[in-house]
Structure formats: C-alpha cells, structure tokens
C-alpha cells in the first residue's frame, strides 16, 4: 500500500542543480527542505556558493561547484567527481532580446550554445550515468516562449522549443532504464533577468494582465513543480512539459471582450 505521506520525501537523494541563481536558488532550497542533498553548480562560483550557504543556513545539506554546461568535457569530469545523482535540475539559460534581422552570428551562437547545446550536454552526461544506475529524474527548464512568441524572442524561443523536443526524446530513450525526463515551462517571473521589463511600467503591466491570474510570478512559485517532478509523486510522469505560467498559454489575446 502506498504511503502518501512520503510521496514528496527526498531523503537520501542527491540533487544536482545546474544554474544556482534566481529560480535555481529557490529550487535548491525546496529540494533540500524535502530532504535532498543539493550540489549547487553555476558558471559563477559565487552564485553557487551563495545558494549552497543559504541551504545550509536553513538546515539543509549542500555543496558548491563552478561548472559551465557548455563545456562537455569539463561537465563530464565534474559529474565523475560529484558521483551518483538522483535528480538533475537544469535552469541555466540566456536570452538576447533582438529582432531576427538585427541578430549577430555571435549572439545566435551564444544563445544556442547555452540553451540548446548546454541542454544536450546535460542530457547526455547526466543521462548516461542515470541510465547505467537504472534510476533518476532530469528536469529542464523551458519557457512559454516554446509555444508563444513575440518580437525579439526568436532565437530564445527556438532553443526552448528544441529543448522540449530533446526532453521528449530523452524520456523515450531513457525510459526503459527507469529514468524520467521532464520540462517545466514558466511564464513571466520576477528575476534579475526581467529587470528591464519591470522598469517599464506599461510593459510590466501588459505582461501581468496577459495571464489568467493577472500578475507575475516569483521564483519560489516554480519550486513546487521541481519537487513534484523530482519525487515519487511523479513516478509515472515522463516526456512531459509542466506549464507554470499563471494561465498565460490558456488565454487568447490580451483583450477581454464583453459577454
């Protein structure tokens, strides 16, 4: 008989957090609160250290690691050093907000390099180790932009759509070994990366009123989805994209017609 009181229990599991700032920080705190040991990895060692310290200050178990997911060989070495991982959460991403005709080759390469190539590196590196063990859960962060696009979001949107395709393919290929792979697609989230939008009152309000809930989210509101997909509560969930977007993709247009 299933003990439903332990569905979200992560005691004895090790989680690798790839991208330890913003949403990643809250995900790490939530995973640790449910019992997981969290390895905080980030390109910026200070960000990884700060998140690890926040987890330990809250009574959790965590370590920090400087890691760039775009460097496949370095990622493989670090994964060997970290050892067995039960959960991997990939939040690392970047965006260059420009129209297609204004994009440079270098900007394209940087966005694709982190968002898509980095995802491929993580799925291949972490996936190989989880498949060999016969267990694990990989969670990659997508975006509403994988489905809904606005001017200036072309390359970012393309990488997120591709990420979701990679997640589905990995779920199919890793599933026989008992490894689950899923994506989370946030809507608009208040983080340092969206400070440009928040500084523009009209832009900020337009985004807030687009979703069904009429507001932005904060990073902590993504943490529950991470814990769910990391835990046994989602033991039969794989190849899925969980939208945590306040109803953004459910709303048709930005005008509420009279009824």
> What is the structure's pLDDT at 46?
98
> What is the structure's pLDDT at 191?
87
Q: Is 156 a catalytic residue?
A: yes
Spatial separation of the C-alpha atoms in residues 63 and 23, rounded to whole Å = 18
Q: What residue ranges define each of the domains in the chain, with the CATH number in brackets?
A: 9-190+218-242 (3.40.50.720)
Main-chain phi, psi angles of 258, to 5 degrees: -65, 140
Query: Are the beta carbons of 124 and 181 closer than 8 angstroms?
Result: no
> What is the structure's pLDDT at 196?
86
> What is the structure's pLDDT at 193?
77
Task: Identify the H or E element spanning 215.
Answer: none
> What is the structure's pLDDT at 259?
66
> What is the structure's pLDDT at 239?
98
Q: What is the pLDDT along the chain (259 residues), one digit of tens a residue?
A: 889 999 999 999 999 999 999 999 999 999 999 999 999 999 999 999 999 999 999 999 999 999 999 999 999 999 999 999 999 999 999 999 999 999 999 999 999 999 999 999 999 999 999 999 999 999 999 999 999 999 999 999 999 999 999 999 999 999 999 999 999 999 999 987 788 888 999 999 999 999 999 999 999 999 999 999 999 999 999 999 999 999 999 998 766 667 6
Query: Are the beta carbons of 89 and 16 closer than 8 angstroms?
Result: yes
Q: Angle CA(247)–CA(140)–CA(62) in degrees, nearest 5?
A: 115
Q: What is the pTM of this model?
A: 0.95
Active-site position among 103, 156, 204, 228: 156
């Amino acid at each position: 008989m299933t003990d439903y009181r332990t569905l979200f229990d992560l005691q004895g599991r090790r989680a690798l957090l790839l991208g330890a700032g913003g949403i990643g920080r809250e995900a790490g705190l939530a995973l640790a609160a449910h019992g997981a040991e969290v390895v905080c990895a980030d390109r910026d060692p200070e960000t990884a250290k700060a998140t690890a310290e926040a987890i330990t200050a809250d009574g959790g178990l965590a370590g920090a690691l400087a890691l760039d997911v775009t460097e496949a060989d370095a990622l493989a070495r670090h994964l060997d050093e970290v050892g067995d991982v039960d959960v991997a959460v990939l939040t690392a991403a970047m965006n260059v907000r420009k129209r297609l005709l204004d994009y440079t080759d270098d900007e394209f390469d940087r966005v694709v390099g982190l968002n898509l190539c980095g995802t491929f590196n993580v799925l291949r590196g972490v996936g190989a180790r989880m498949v060999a063990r016969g267990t694990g859960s990989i969670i990659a962060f997508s975006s509403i932009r994988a489905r809904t696009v606005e001017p200036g979001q072309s390359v970012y949107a393309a990488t997120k759509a591709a990420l979701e395709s990679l997640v589905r393919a990995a779920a199919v290929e890793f599933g026989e070994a008992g490894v689950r792979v899923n994506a989370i697609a946030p809507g608009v989230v208040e983080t340092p990366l969206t400070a440009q939008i928040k500084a523009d009152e009209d832009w900020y309000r337009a985004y807030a009123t687009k979703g069904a809930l009429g507001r932005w989210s904060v990073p902590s509101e993504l943490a529950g989805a991470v814990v769910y997909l990391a835990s046994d509560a989602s033991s039969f969930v794989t190849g899925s994209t969980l939208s945590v977007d306040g109803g953004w993709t459910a709303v048709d247009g930005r005008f509420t017609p009279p009824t």
